[in-house]
Amino acid sequence: MNPDILLAILKTSGALVSGLLGLTALFSNFRMANGHLSLTGKLVFAGILFSSSVAATTSVLESLSDFESNREQMARNETLLHEISRAVQPIAELKISFFATIPTDHPQVRSYVTRLEEGINDRADDLLKFPPDDQYEGLSVASKDIDHGVLSVSIKPESDLWPSLPDEAAINSMVTFGSPSLSFLRKPISLTEYPLTHRDADLSAMGLPMGQNPTLMWNVQERKLQIFGSVEYQKDFWFSSGKITSFNDLLGSQFVISFPYSDPEFIERITGRKVENFDIYSVGKSINLDWVSLGLGAGRSFVIEANHFEKSFSQMGRKPMFAITLPDTNEELLRLSETEISSR
């Protein structure tokens, strides 16, 4: 029975019984000559007990009804606030900046690193001059130490130190076509079960060749070769299931960055054409992510460093990918940015 109907019946019953007891009290004698309760007195006593029970039960039911009503109202308010929050904090853009390291001990990288290091050492003094020398177009000092020594150097395609020689083609291709794809799942899963295609994620953005000039960074002191990329994903290449549309939807979700360095055998199987340069995959699969800055529009962005990511390889194409399950709260999410970014 509906609780409200039951409550109304009990209230009506209690009122009727109370009225009858009042009338009975006007016209009846409750005790006999020996002082014991008469039949009428016993009936009135039973009526009083019944009326008291009804009053107590009614009070309990009203309290429970109010509690349930308040709980339902709070749930409705919470849902409404969540939807309002989703509406006022939409994911308006997907943009990343990242540093990724190419291991210098890889056989296909060593010879380039030797040429690069020698070229930078020969030009170190000239690179520190201001204004910079035009003959070193595409080559510039990115950072200095406190003694004004070179810490890192930026290399762009205009430089003669860009990987343009035949045996450096793998590095060139990695940087030029190294724009990663992004995907988010509302409910995290094992990486061995991770979605195989662009449309299997709740929100994804497909990476295309670097839209802006690709950049290599050489860390002089650490002898570290890095790709620096900055990519803004056009909405034409987004896919959304509708489960992730706002900043709040990202809390607790799984975020994956995958680089487009597919297994040559997979490419041959898909295209039916022989892959000539296996070195691209060999170098590409060894890539390591240093840090990522993810921008979502309207000033919403945060940095995630490498130690928070788990490296794996996709089921389709064995592409290197880096995954993280984002924290459940805004405070914990912002803490991801607190660690010093040592790779800059």
- Please give the pLDDT value at position 322: 94
| Distance separating alpha carbons of residues 70 and 282, to the nearest angstrom | 61
- By mean pLDDT, which of 125-134, 154-163, 195-204, 239-248 is the weakest? 125-134
Q: What confidence tens digit (pLDDT) does each residue in 10-32 have?
A: 556 655 655 565 555 545 555 66
Q: Two tokens at 19?
A: 């009225």
- Same domain (yes/no): 82, 107: no
Residue 55 and residue 127 in one domain: no
- Number of C-beta neighbours around residue 99 at 10 A: 22
- Torsion 103-183-205-93 (CA) sign: negative
Asked whether the predicted pLDDT for residue 78 surpasses 90, the reply is no
Q: How would residue 207 be classed by pLDDT, with cut points 50, 70 and 90?
A: confident
User: Maximum distance among all alpha carbons in the chain?
Assistant: 128
Contact assessment for residue 259 and residue 178, using Cβ atoms and an 8 Å cutoff? yes
What is the pLDDT confidence band of residue 101, given thresholds at 50, 70 and 90? very high
Judge contact between 324 and 309, C-beta under 8 A.
yes
Three-state DSSP at 90 gives strand
The count of domains in the chain is 2
Residue 126 forms part of a structural domain? yes
Q: Which residues constitute the domain of residue 300? A: 91-335
Q: Report whether pLDDT(3) > 50.
A: yes
Domain boundary residue among 86, 108, 133?
86
For the segment 42-59, what is each residue's pLDDT rounded down to a tens digit?
Answer: 666 666 666 667 666 777
Which residue carries 């130690």 as its tokens? 307
**257: confidence class by pLDDT, cuts 50, 70, 90:** very high
Q: Are 233 and 205 in contact (CB under 8 A)?
A: yes
Q: Is residue 259 part of a domain?
A: yes
Going through 36-177 in order, the beta strands assigned E by DSSP cover 95-102, 139-144, 150-155
Under 8 Å between Cβ of 298 and 287: no
How many other β-carbons are positioned within 10 Å of the β-carbon of residue 9?
13
153, 68: one domain: no
pLDDT class for 294, splitting at 50, 70, 90?
very high
Tell me: do 102 and 65 sit in the same domain. no
The more confidently predicted of residues 85 and 143 is: 143
Q: Are residues 274 and 171 in the same domain?
A: yes
Q: What is the DSSP letter of 198?
A: G
Q: Is residue 229 part of a domain?
A: yes
Q: Are residues 213 and 326 in the same domain?
A: yes
Residue that finishes a domain, picked among 70, 86, 102 = 86
3-state secondary structure of 97: strand
Residue type, 198: H
pLDDT of residue 84: 43
DSSP states of 151-170 as a string?
EEEEE-TTSTTSS-SGGGHH
Angle formed at CA 171 by CA 161 and CA 184, multiple of 5 degrees:
130
For the residues 174-184, what does the mean pLDDT come to?
86
The answer to whether residue 344 is domain-embedded is: no
In a domain, 340, yes or no: no
Does 174 lie in the same domain as 99?
yes
115 lies in the same domain as 210: yes
- Is the pTM of the predicted complex or chain greater than 0.75? no
Poorest-pLDDT segment among 42-56, 127-141, 191-205: 42-56
Are 124 and 161 in a shared domain? yes
Do 126 and 238 lie in one domain? The reply is: yes
49 and 137 part of one domain:
no
Q: How far apart are CA 165 and CA 161, in angstroms?
A: 10
